[in-house]
Amino acid sequence: MAFLQVQFYSETLNVASTVNVIMPEPSHGIGITAAKSGELPKVLYLLHGYSDDHSIWMRRTSVERYAAQHNLAVIMPAVNHSFYANEVQGERYWDYVSDELPRAMHRFFHLSDKPEDTFVTGLSMGGYGAMKLALTYPERFGAAASFSGATDICDFTNRPKTRLTEYKRIFGPVEEMPGSEHDLFHLMKNKPEKAPKLYVSCGTADFLYHQHQKFIPALKECGWDVTHYEKPDAVHEWGFWDEEIKKFIPWMLEK
């Protein structure tokens, strides 16, 4: 596998942006599955959480090793504290991650552009971003996942005042968030006939577990194909997420 740090000028953000990329290589190596002749790599967009950046998945998990077994390219962008949104007072991170980033990656690399070969997942804030992408553009993805995701962005229970201030900077008036393009419970109502399969997991001791418990039945009620997993006593931590990305990659590739 090749590991690349790509720096390119983002016209959406008006700044040089950094993306970490894992790319399959044609030669054999220990634990590496060689691609079939002429087969373009499948693509996984792997999103970081609130306190991290584009480098964290490589530093805290063995995602490169897991991807090597499946001829899989992995794209890891950075979006700061944006919740993958076009911030009311800030930058257009939603336009960046949903439009400019995939166009740039396909311009720089030979990647499959088939929806059944395109996937997205993330943890915590990144789990929210992955679900927002899959529910907004279901025609683009074969599968999507959220690990310990902030799936109910309109849940202000026990939120500190500083976080509510940040929400207003990102999303605008918090009272207008329910039913908006930021609200996953609103987005899931528009399920198309052909939609990606979803995987949603969370530890039972995670501070976001109550959101997970609301999210799963809501998805099922709207007709989404969702597989869910709850690990007893697991909290918001990298050991759990490393286990989950290892499981999700082969799961997402199953037809």
Supply the pTM of this predicted model. Answer: 0.95
| Whole-number Å distance between alpha carbons of 215 and 129 | 14
Maximum C-alpha span of the chain: 55
> In angstroms, what CA-CA distances link 168 with 91, 161, 171, 173, 179?
14, 11, 5, 5, 16
Give the contacts of 30 (CB within 8 A, at least 6 positions apart): none
CA angle 6, 9, 15 (to 5 degrees): 115
**Domain 2-253 is found in CATH 3.30.70.20:** no
CB hemisphere CA count around 72 (13 angstroms): 26
The domains of the chain are located at 2-253
Spell out the per-residue pLDDT of the chain, length 255, in tens: 899 999 999 999 999 999 999 999 876 666 666 666 678 999 999 999 999 999 999 999 999 999 999 989 999 999 999 999 999 999 999 999 999 999 999 999 999 999 999 999 999 999 999 999 999 999 999 999 999 999 999 997 777 888 889 999 999 998 999 999 999 999 999 999 999 999 999 999 999 999 999 999 999 999 999 999 999 999 999 999 999 999 999 999 997
Three-state SS for 74? strand
pLDDT in tens, 116-170: 999 999 999 999 999 999 999 999 999 999 999 999 999 977 778 888 899 999 9
